[in-house]
Each structure stands twice: as structure tokens, then as C-alpha cells.
């Protein structure tokens, strides 16, 4: 009886983090293990301006979302 080993290549792991401002889910940031930056994916029209932007850390994305809210006083967020 002979056995052969096969190397099975799996896709790189992904890291994803939910970004919230208050009680509102602004979106999430995600990256593959081989990527340096996180890409923002908007979960609410209020944060579409951040869609596709790249951030070094999830905290940087959260700060950008908070800054967007502060810069637009009439912006309505979910309660």
C-alpha cells in the first residue's frame, strides 16, 4: 500500500472588522492576509463616501467614519 501526500493550497485568510459610530453600523473593513491595508465597505448610505477607501488599521477607519459624522451635522444615523 502506498500513500501520496498532496499539498492543498487554501486561499489566504481574511480579516474583517465591523465599524460602528454610536449605535450605527457604518460598515466594515476587510483585508486578505497578504494585503497591507483594509478596504472600507459601507453598510449605510450615510457612509458611502468612505466606500472603497483604504486604511492602515480598523481604528483609522473608525476615526474617518466619526469625522464624517462630525463634518455633516444634518447626517441622520440609526438610533
pTM for the model: 0.78
pLDDT of residue 73: 77
Other Cβ atoms within 10 Å of 73 Cβ, number: 6
Q: Which three cell numbers stand for residue 75?
A: 447626517
Question: What is the strand order of the sheet 38-42 is part of?
Answer: 14-21, 24-32, 38-42, 54-55
pLDDT at 56 over 90: yes
| pLDDT one-digit tens code per residue, 57-75 | 999 999 999 999 999 877 6
Average per-residue pLDDT for the chain: 87
Amino acid at each position: 500500500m502506498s500513500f501520496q501526500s498532496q499539498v492543498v493550497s487554501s486561499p489566504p485568510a481574511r480579516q474583517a472588522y465591523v465599524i460602528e459610530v454610536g449605535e450605527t453600523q457604518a460598515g466594515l473593513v476587510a483585508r486578505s492576509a497578504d494585503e497591507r491595508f483594509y478596504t472600507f465597505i459601507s453598510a449605510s448610505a450615510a457612509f458611502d463616501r468612505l466606500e472603497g477607501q483604504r486604511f492602515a488599521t480598523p481604528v483609522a477607519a473608525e476615526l474617518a467614519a466619526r469625522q464624517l459624522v462630525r463634518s455633516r451635522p444634518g447626517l441622520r444615523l440609526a438610533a
